[in-house]
Amino acid sequence: MHVVLLGPPGVGKGTQGELLADALGWQRIVTGDLLRAQRDARTPLGQQAQGYMTKGELVPDPLIIAMVREQLATFPPGTSVIFDGFPRNSSQASAFKMMLETLGLTVDQIAVLDADDDLVVERISGRRSCPTCGAVYNQSLAPPNRDGRCDKDGTALFQRADDEPETVRHRLEVYHRETEPLIEYYEGSRAAVHHIAGDQAVEVVQTALREALGVEVGAS
Ligand code: AMP
């Protein structure tokens, strides 16, 4: 099963994808996380990507497509995968389709998490991340137990540079222009497209997501 999570930045795709993957034993390909790891390790890809990421622009397609292809190749055949943050525009979607086709695979289901721009800006401005383990918190919605510290390892949390309000607005513009049209693209494909209200509590969204995808915990 190949599931794509679509939705604006900050709507909760990462949280929902992680919950789902952990519950079902599925894998995830999260292009933003892969890029941040490359950037932090100062690899050539990370250095090429950094400027685009800081400005909230899309990293060039060939870099992304090669990165996804490489990651996908690490999974054994038959692995179920959740894609979060990819594809992000129509050329990535076409390349993705071809990439899967050459492996005899398809994009099966699309889950769109919907939310208004204002809510997204509000949520992202409260988002804080752990530089050590990557855990993500929200100051008002999902705060850490100890103010400003990661629950898992006690590291001081930080705000991503691209989570500053001005950059978030730009990321939203990019989302509406480049990524949102993919909903229509997938509605015209064989994949099933589900819409889920992303402005609800984490557990409510997770339940709706599982129902929409028709998955049961314990199945694969
Ligand atoms: P995200 O964590 O998904 O919001 O991604 C953070 C940043 O990484 C984005 O603003 C882009 O600069 C870059 N990025 C992530 N995924 C992609 C993608 N599929 N195509 C191009 N750029 C991406």
| Identified catalytic residue from 36, 123, 171, 210 | 171
Predicted TM-score (pTM) of the model is 0.91
Q: Is 127 assigned a catalytic role?
A: yes
Phi, psi of 82 (to 5 degrees): -105, 125
3-state helix, strand, coil in the chain (%, to 5): 50, 15, 35
3-state DSSP call for residue 129?
strand
For residue 87, whether the previous peptide bond is cis, meaning omega lies within 30 degrees of 0, is yes
Distance CA 196, CA 98 (A): 27
**Nearest protein CA to atom 8 of ligand 1, as residue:** 32
Q: How many of the other CB atoms lie within 10 Å of CB of 44?
A: 9
Question: Considering 13, 28, 36, 123, which one is annotated as catalytic?
Answer: 13
* Confidence at residue 220, expressed as pLDDT on a 0 to 100 scale: 46
pLDDT at 21: 97
The alpha carbon of 219 and the centre of ligand 1 are apart by a number of angstroms equal to 30
CA distances from 39 to 52, 53, 85, 95, 166 (A): 11, 10, 17, 24, 22
Query: Which tokens go with 31?
Result: 């292009």
Q: Is 13 in the active site?
A: yes
Ranges of residues in the chain whose predicted pLDDT is under 50: 219-220
Shortest-distance atom of ligand 1 to CA 84: 3
- Which residue type, as a one-letter code, is found at position 87? P
Give residue 161's pLDDT.
85
Q: Which residues are registered as beta bridge partners of 28?
A: 82
* Cβ contact 109:200 at 8 Å: no
* DSSP per position, 160-218: -GGGSHHHHHHHHHHIIIIITHHHHHHHTSSSEEEEEETTS-HHHHHHHHHHHHT--BT
Pick from 104, 82, 80: nearest CA to 1: 80
Q: If you take atom 6 of ligand 1, which residue's CA is the nearest one?
A: 32
Mutation test residue for ligand 1: of 16, 35, 50, 71, the one with most atoms within 8 Å of CB: 35
Q: Quote the pLDDT of residue 218.
A: 59
For ligand 1, say whether the CB of 35 is within 6 Å of any of its atoms. yes
| Active-site residue, 97 included | no
Atom of ligand 1 nearest to the CA of 31: 16
